[in-house]
Chain A
Amino acid sequence: MIVKPYGDRAALIETADPLGVRQAALALPGVVEAVPVAQTVLVRFDTDRHDLDALAQLTPVPPAEQSVGAAELPVVYDGPDLELVAADAGCSVEEVIRQHSGGRYTVAFCGFSPGFAYLRGLPERLQQPRLASPRTSVPAGAVGIAGEFTGAYPRASPGGWRLIGRTAADLWDLDRRSPALLTPGMSVRFIAT
């Protein structure tokens, strides 16, 4: 693990296990926030007197000890980029659907917008670049792929992911006790409907 200072109240940790490091960091005194993404975790403290050495010595909490849960998202596979994805994958549209809905995914992190979960576990031939030109508006519920990640847009926004379907799952609801349906570490499946 590499620990880098991030201003007077925070540090950035480079790690292969951001979720495990997040869990471990949250148990340290004075930590108010630990935000994981693909390869890093930002840890914020409540004072400017914090101990970077303690961060470097953190032992990540193993996945088995993290209480994370699971979710299934119903998907209608009729996205506008299905044929593009099939062509780049060198297979049929049916095969794209079979591969995407057959995958076992894990929420690597959330970002971009509230409740937007980046899911890891995409079959290799579906790992494709973003659109050359992002759409100015992607509807809520759109299911897309980008690089090693797949995910669904919780609300309408601009976006550059290749869209292959849509889900009716309520991905973000502020009236729910846990507004985000998908949270870091959770396992996720897509069910073709």
Chain B
Amino acid sequence: MMHRLSLALLRLFATLVPLRDRGEWLAEWESELQARRARLASRQRLTPEQELDMFRRVLGSFHDAAWLRRQFTLDADVVHDFKHGARLLRRSPGFTLLTVGVLAIGIGATTGIFSVIDALLVRELPYRDPERIVLVFETDAANRRAIEGVAPANFLDWHPHVRSLEPVSAIEPFGFTYTEGSEPQSMPGARVSSGFFEAFGVAAMYGRTFTPEEFTAGRNNVVVLSYGTWAQRFGADPTVVGRVVRINGQPTTVVGVMPPSFAPRLMTTFNERGVWAPKVWAEHEYRLRGSRHFNAVARLKAGFTSDQAQSELEGIAERLAQQHPGANRGKTMQLVTLRDHLAGDLRSSINVLGASVLLLLGIAIANTANLITTRATARTREIGVRSALGADRGRLVRQLLAETLLLAGVGCLLGLLVAYGTARLIVWLAPGDIPALGSIGLNTRVLLFSTALTFIVAMVTGIVPAWRGAGIRASEALTNRTTGHAGARPGGIGRSRFAIAELALAFVLLSGSGLLFRSFATLLATSPGFAPEGVAALQIFVRGPSRTPAQMAAFYQQVIDEMKSVPQVRDAGAVSVMPFLNTTGGSSVPIVIDGQAVPAPGNEPSALVTVATPGYFPVMRIPLVEGRLFEGHDDASRAPVALVSSAFARRHWSTGSPVGQRIRVQIQGNPIAAEVIGVVGDVRHDTLDRPATMEVFVPHAQVPYSAMTFVARTSGDPKAALPELKARIYLSAPGQAVYRTAVLQDLVASTLHDRRFMLTLVVVFALVAVGLAASGVYGVMSLVSAQRTREFGVRLALGAKRGEILRMVMRQGVALTTTGIAIGLAGALVSGRLLQRFLFGIGSNDVLTLSAVCVTLCGVAALACLLPALRATRVSPIAALRSE
């Protein structure tokens, strides 16, 4: 029993022995054990004491094995170095805390940003071969970033012929009305053409997705539910599959429920879709090219790259532009991978944030290197003694590096807290609709990243000071007695290099944040062209052929009158294209102006044609520039009238007034010739940084449009008025679902989220950077003036004024600061260009911003120099000389 246990232990301990010696090691121990047993047993039965004695010796083999392992790996030295380092660091807690803090900030902030990059760009998407899923958009050939959805007729033209994509599916955003009992509920969803679920490669969790036959009229009364809809509206009941529910007033069969991971968020402007129905193409959609409100999702066919697919689509777009120049001239198609699409606008912010955090890391490294060099210099004598006692340079470097690694390791642990905080801050600040952000976290990849980063940082910050420190010659270190703690080596110069680097990097970061801040301030001061404060918006789609145009007009008028009777409502109106709520997309339509020469191709007048009620303009406080607004009598019984926006008027009536002129436009296929009765102020539709949209307004009473957004100006909080306003809609039209409600001020503010997000982070980074740089300057100047204590004492004893000493120290500080700022300025001029696309109203080398940054940094650096300089003037000559 004991013997078997002994043999097992030997085999276990043998695993410690380096592989090279393991076989021999085990053979030696086994043979010794067996020889002893054989000899003892040959004389008499083994006593328990003898057994125990042998077992004790076998236990000792552990020490032998461990010893061999240490020899092999040099663990002994390394462990010793770490212990020694820890002891030294404990002895100088101030230095340790400062360094660990600086490293924690640098490593932590970088890890936090990496965790965002990981969530957005690295993590696997929950679809089959997610990298091959692509979205297709139509876009301006001249400006590829202005992506829009696809027009249905274009999609129907190209999708059967494309060779590089399969399947290809069109998605039409669609508001479903689900009626349970008497309460109609709006369910945002989409009608999808065949191949939608196949493009993602995801099967239903319960039931099935659509069969090919269900894409035909009459058989399309089926829906697939998202997990969220299923859980919220149907109580997560698995038997819902096969149930017939009332959707859009039709009995509709639920055929499937998708798994929770399936949340394809294809439309950035819409909330998550919760229900899908098969798309059956309507007759007019085969001609509809002006409205690009469909999305297209596809899968790259095996053997095709996305570049090949992109060039194929561009070829198709060229043909479409030739065949249908009216809607497609100047347009092309753009392929976007699903991952890029999901990362959204954050992807471009990420570059800026990544660059900022690297600058911050650079400053943290310079700061740490500065601290460590200072310390190595202060330890000149200790190192001199060790090298006199025979420590070779490699050994000393190893030991100094072990110290740095310890510092960085502790810094990394604290940094994880900083990283967690940074990631939370990002999630909190980030614009709401970035799906990938939900899964941010400190996972294995992030931890590996921060470990690797820590190691690199330790090496970068430690290697130069360690090499230089370890190179100190013993004789030099031991004979040099000029100061109490520092050698005569001009360490000050090396360290001021670190401080200069910190100042330069901080300058770049600060000027970047200054530019972003100025842009943001300019944007905040930019008027959207209307007054969003106190305005509530409610969007509805009136469905069904049940209303004639006159009835439609009367219905809207009735609801508006109802709304006006709500106590807190001052005025109400309705509009077809609501700024900041509907994206206008490419829905500009051609306009013909009577009496003007036929314009050159490409220069034809075009504008967004918006249907509005008379109340829309006063509610929004869109100013009347000229002429008159719509009035109650501008109805179907009178001659058609129109309003134009200032931008449109300026562009097409550069001389003279448009009032009284006639324009012709097609609305929903009907040609209308209208007299311009007035000019109104410009309105921005999408974001504050895009120019105002050219717009032509027609009165709702003359063009009764079915999908309108009500606007109401309230005297109090518009959010509080929303339930009452909704109730008035239900009152006038029982069964009419409200598709979306919003407070206009929130809508406008939400377009600034991206910028606010990036600005906040960059400003935080910049402030930390300035703090670090200031501490770097302070550290160098303190040391320099401490080193010159004796000199100052002599000068003072010989009659120098204290003011002169102050000037001497400050002069040194100013030289350092101006060098840092000059380098930083050059860096800022280069890096500013990277920010160009985020700037608004200013250039990347904005003089005001750069001068403000100069002044700020000079001030901070001057303060950091002033304290050591003042201390130098307070040197007592007697004390300074006596200390020798």
A and B part of one assembly? no
Interface residues of B (CB under 8 A from A): none
Interface residues of A (CB under 8 A from B): none
